[in-house]
Amino acid sequence: MNTCLLILLVLALLLIFCLIYKLKHINEQISFIKDVLADMKAGNLNRRILVQENDRTKQICYDINQIAINSQSQLIHQKQSEQAYKRLMTSLSHDVKTPLASLVGYLEAVESQLVTGKEKDEYIHVAHEKAQYLKHFVEHLFEWVKLDSGEQVFHFEVSDLNEITRNIMADWILVLENSHFEYEIDIPEEEYPVRMDSNAYTRVINNLLQNVMVHSGGSKIILRIAKEQQRVKVIIADNGKGIASDKLPHIFERLYQCDHSRSAKGNGLGLAITRELVNAHKGTITVNSALDRGTEFVISFPKAL
Amino acid sequence: MNDTVIKTKRLTKKYGTQTVVNKVGLHVQKGRIYGLLGRNGAGKTTIMKMILGLTPITSGSAEVFGREIGGNAKRIYSRIGAIIETPGFYPNLTGTENLEIFARLRGTAFPNAVKNALEVVGLPYKDKKTFAHYSLGMKQRLGIANAILHDPELLILDEPTNGLDPIGIAEVREFIKALSVEHGKTILISSHILSEISVLADDIGIIDQGVLLEESSMRELEKRNGKYILLQVSDIPKTILILERSFHVKDYSVQDEQTVRIYDTTLNMGEVNKALVMEEITVIRSGICNDTLEDYFKKITGGEGIA
């Protein structure tokens, strides 16, 4: 009888110690969670609660972490677009100021009759070109802002990519021949159905071809369409001067231009717009290039079922 | 909240009579990438080890999250991920098994932490290859996976691209950048390659023979970097007309109402100034900026350069 009681007593004591130990562990954990939460509340959304595999608070802690991760990424996203906007504004002011200042210079010279006759005509011609550049720049800019803010409305429908591309290229052939560009076009006969906005797609192809003509310095354009499992690829390649590897990762950034020249030709928005348009189609655009080896743009769209 | 994550004050390390780190005062700001640049043996690794409490500090102090690491090690370590030299992994276990051990020891911040970390660095999950059979590049990647396993706030990476091939270097750079830009992590990274630091870092500390020669933001340094002529004049449109017509300058940009940058540095500025003055344009300032970052580092390290 006595031994029985004793055993019971020992067992009860053991149980109590065990519980006290457990309680202490849980208390420690709760105080740790409290610390981390205080830190998160103060704005440190990178803080995480680390838990062991068999902690009872595991799910709660994972959920708290997830909330912190989500708010953090939202916050960062916001900050990024704010910064991008600021950058855009500063570069913009330069991009408008430079051609505008030059335009004013030419017109002032004409206005104050510094130049006459043939020279005057030439000045007016240059001024007109600069005004055109500015007009295009502002148009592009509006297009970009519309895309970036998600205000652009697309009309997607399943169409035959090959047919649409053929139509686009029909318009280009004359242009290419007039500027003495060789071309090689390889569009398959069968239908490749893709869900697309044909206007936006036309913009994409036009932008890329324009890009080759203005910037590549090459003499040949290749356009090829190929099927690849669930995707359709449009490849536009040239035999021009290529793009240096350190510049390659940046070419789709808005207002990025390989040369510093802000007064010449392009405006650094074309490829940024192109990428946004391709993204809207759930497609991807990549570029392969090396100096003096030409450039190859590959657009890939998911095939419509 | 304090925005300085790592702060060292007159941090010094001596081995006998030799001083390897000399009164270094580093300031790593929250959410930024701090690049510690210096040649091999400049003292970069020793500084990182002292910050982490892996080697005793001779004099001075190092604070992480506003506290010294001694005594607070357990709580602070859970907030840091680090790779210093080659990390210790079990050679006869696979990468996944190795990380699972660390995950158990340290605890995790979300489910599937191991899988996630391996994905980030581009290693396969549940691969059968043991660590002993890993290439140098894979070992390095596993080291980085281990450092980000518990989703820490601060990463201390000592030459993380060592032993990687060029494509690997580009990939690692990309995700280090992403950790900072997309996830807001604070990162202290060391390298002896100027180009690596200059593409990655927001702030930069240049260390030579144990002495921190300069600590500055990349943006500040970039202002001194570049080849262009700066021209400050009273009338921008007239100036541009002269530049375009008489000097055939095409590559320029207008900075503000009085300043224009010309990117062709071979331009004869004497002639330009003369032409401008003849047209009654006041030239307030004209100067050439002809420094690259490389030149600048040579200057401050006393002509020897960094890489």
Q: What is the pLDDT along chain A (305 residues), one digit of tens a residue?
A: 788 899 999 999 999 999 999 899 888 888 889 989 999 998 889 999 988 888 888 899 999 999 999 999 899 888 877 877 777 777 677 778 888 888 999 999 899 888 888 889 999 999 998 898 888 888 888 887 777 776 778 889 999 999 999 999 998 988 888 888 899 999 999 999 999 998 899 999 999 998 888 888 888 999 999 988 888 999 999 998 888 877 777 788 766 655 544 434 566 788 888 988 998 888 888 888 888 888 999 999 988 87
Give the closest of A46, A94, A105 to B238, CB-based.
Answer: A105
**Nearest CA of chain B to the CA of A97: how many Å?**
6
- pLDDT tens string A214-230: 888 888 999 999 988 88
Nearest CA in chain A to B237: A105
Does residue A257 belong to any structural domain of this protein?
Answer: yes
Does residue A103 belong to any structural domain of this protein?
Answer: yes
**Nearest CA of chain B to the CA of A98: how many Å?**
5
Q: Are residues A166 and A296 in the same domain?
A: yes
Among A126, A149, A172, the domain-final residue is: A149
Q: Are residues A115 and A189 in the same domain?
A: no
Nearest-angstrom CA–CA distance, A183 and A175: 11
The structural domain count of chain A equals 2
Q: What ipTM was predicted for this assembly?
A: 0.77
What's the confidence (pLDDT) of residue A263?
39
Does residue A272 belong to any structural domain of this protein?
Answer: yes
**Nearest CA of chain A to the CA of B209: how many Å?**
31
DSSP string covering A163-182: HHHHHHHHHHHHHHHHTT-E
CATH number at residue A128: 1.10.287
| Domain extent for A297 | 157-302
Strand order in the sheet with A284-289: A182-186, A220-228, A231-238, A295-302, A284-289
CATH number at residue A178: 3.30.565.10
Does residue A44 belong to any structural domain of this protein?
Answer: no
Under the banding of pLDDT at 50, 70 and 90, the label for residue B1 is very low
Q: Which of A50, A52, A58, A81 to mutate to test binding with chain B, by most B CBs within 10 Å of its CB?
A: A50
Q: Are residues A176 and A298 in the same domain?
A: yes
Burial of B12 per CB tally in 10 Å (0-12, 13-18, 19+): middle
Q: Are residues A137 and A173 in the same domain?
A: no
Average pLDDT, chain A: 86
Under the banding of pLDDT at 50, 70 and 90, the label for residue B79 is very high
CB pairs under 8 A between A and B: 102
Does residue A55 belong to any structural domain of this protein?
Answer: no
Among A129, A149, A169, the domain-final residue is: A149
DSSP β-ladder status, A182-186 and A220-228: parallel
Among A121, A149, A177, the domain-final residue is: A149
Answer whether A52 sits within 8 Å of B104, measured CB to CB: yes
Give the closest of A50, A94, A102 to B78, CB-based.
Answer: A50
**A 68-97: CB under 8 A from B:** 69, 72-73, 75-76, 80, 94, 97
Q: Which amino acid is at B11?
A: L
Q: Are residues A133 and A165 in the same domain?
A: no
Does residue A35 belong to any structural domain of this protein?
Answer: no
Q: Annotate B127-141 with b (16+ C-beta within 10 A) or e (fewer).
A: eeebbeebeebbbbb
Q: What are residue A82's phi and psi, to 5 degrees?
A: -60, -45
Does residue A14 belong to any structural domain of this protein?
Answer: no
Q: Are residues A298 and A171 in the same domain?
A: yes
Give the closest of B153, B182, B250 to A47, CB-based.
Answer: B153
Q: Are residues A132 and A202 in the same domain?
A: no
Q: What are residue B69's phi and psi, to 5 degrees?
A: -75, -30
Burial of A108 per CB tally in 10 Å (0-12, 13-18, 19+): middle
Q: Are residues A256 and A222 in the same domain?
A: yes
Q: Are residues A235 and A194 in the same domain?
A: yes
- pLDDT tens string B121-130: 888 898 889 9
Q: Are residues A142 and A267 in the same domain?
A: no
Q: 0.80 exceeded by the pTM?
A: no
Which three-class secondary structure state does DSSP give residue B64?
Answer: strand
Q: Are residues A204 and A170 in the same domain?
A: yes
Give the closest of A80, A100, A261 to B250, CB-based.
Answer: A261
